[in-house]
Amino acid sequence: MKLVVGLGNPGKEYASTRHNIGFMVIDELLNRYSNQEVSKSSFQGDVYKSKSAIFLKPLTYMNLSGKSILKVKNFYKTRQTIVIHDDLDLPFGTLRFKLGGGHGGHNGLKSTDSAITKEYIRVRMGIGRPKNKGEVASFVLSSFSKDEEACLNEWIGKAADAVEAILVSDWENVASLHSIKKSNCLK
């Protein structure tokens, strides 16, 4: 069984922010799969089980995501973890894949690394970077622009397609077929 985690923050005020792209992809996957909610308070997250995977949206807020991931991973004894997250270092609409690596200042990845080590598959969804480095926190917690929103459903769908493929295939093969270098949606 594989564990698929979407990083994000709980609450309506964060629902449509850049930092919650991982939650958005999990929601898309849940719409595609027959699943059963198996959440427990000890998981500190929304957990769903299907025939092929466990899906998790940690409710610990981004900075403590690893706590929830570790609890679910240990309970279900999952053999592989896939983490879907926003990535400032990639332009909006980019989709990349990686095994391990650094956290790049991403607090959700930092927490995950310390909880379960760096040996998990990363589905990196580029959100771009603000012009001013001092605006990173407000940028990741901001909503997408109108132009970006027009592309959002297609991009989330492509990320969900890639995760589905990872569930049944080698992630490196999936990466070569599903990587998106730049969104064709934006003008």
For the stretch 36-58, pLDDT in tens is: 999 999 999 999 999 989 999 99
- Inside any domain, residue 16: yes
- Inside any domain, residue 77: yes
Those residues whose C-beta lies under 8 Å from the C-beta of residue 34, and which sit 6 or more positions away, are: 50, 51
- Inside any domain, residue 81: yes
pTM, full prediction = 0.96
- Inside any domain, residue 185: no
Supply the residues annotated as catalytic: 19
- Inside any domain, residue 187: no
For the stretch 50-90, pLDDT in tens is: 998 999 999 999 999 999 999 999 999 999 999 999 999 99
Please give the residue range of the domain that contains residue 59: 2-178
CATH number reported for the structural domain that contains residue 168 in this entry: 3.40.50.1470
- Inside any domain, residue 186: no
Those residues whose C-beta lies under 8 Å from the C-beta of residue 103, and which sit 6 or more positions away, are: 109, 110, 113
Return the residue matching tokens 């894949």. Answer: 97
Q: How many domains does the chain have?
A: 1
